[in-house]
Copies of this chain bind each other. A is one copy, B any other.
């Protein structure tokens, strides 16, 4: 039997391990969800899998959970980065949530020539990734990096990492993803709403590790494109098979 409430904690998990709760976590479990001593919560920390725990102490300001048994081993997602240009707040939140659900290992907001946002709230986006992991039953939480300039990310690009790049100006050049070896490091880059600049497009196309992919005849919003591109990749090379 699995507990219905799943909670991400930053604490080691193991047999008999006690896990202290922050004030926020205690408020959620005991105030909002009305749990009392003896009830069960599923815990994960991104490293030790999922553990069923019992509420050992409960107060308004804190509490203690006690690990009972491991209910899932750690399941790492494939080595897939999702790079995207931040858009309106709600849709940026959405992309981060979807990336975590779809099994990205790392989420990287990038600033392109036509990106409007000059800053993001990394802490808030990371919290969305945690919430999505709690929701989707995963045992891993992808890291959300700080906003970086796309050109600098490409300057430092690891040569062995393939890059799937979705461009609405590109039609018909469907990526033969399945022709690639599985198990390699990959990244998906979703362009900004205004598209890539000519300079960026030229540079991206010239990269030896870049693969252009078309996402159909309609122009997809960036958040739709992110889910669609990750679906294509997960089916062909990821953990959906």
Contact = CB atoms under 8 A, between A and B. Distances in A.
Contacts of A232: 231, 235
Stoichiometry, as copies per complex, reads 2
B138 A218 contact: yes
Interface stretch (A34-42, A95-103, A144-152, A199-207): A95-103
Chain A interface category by residue count: 20 to 34
A214 interface: yes
B218 A103 contact: yes
A157 interface: no
Contact of A219 (B94, B136, B220, B227): B136
A228 B224 CA distance: 9
Contact of A224 (B102, B216, B240, B241): B102
B75 A220 contact: no
Contacts of A75: 217
A234 interface: yes
A101 B218 contact: yes
A222 to B, nearest CB: 11
A19 interface: no
A177 to B, nearest CB: 10
A220 B174 contact: no
Interface in A123-173: 135-138
Top 3 nearest A-B pairs by Cβ distance? A216-B240, A227-B227, A231-B231
Interface of A: 75, 94, 97-98, 101-103, 135-138, 174, 214-221, 224, 227-228, 231-232, 234-235, 238-241
Given A98-B224, A102-B216, A217-B239, 5 more contacts: A101-B218, A136-B218, A138-B218, A216-B240, A224-B227
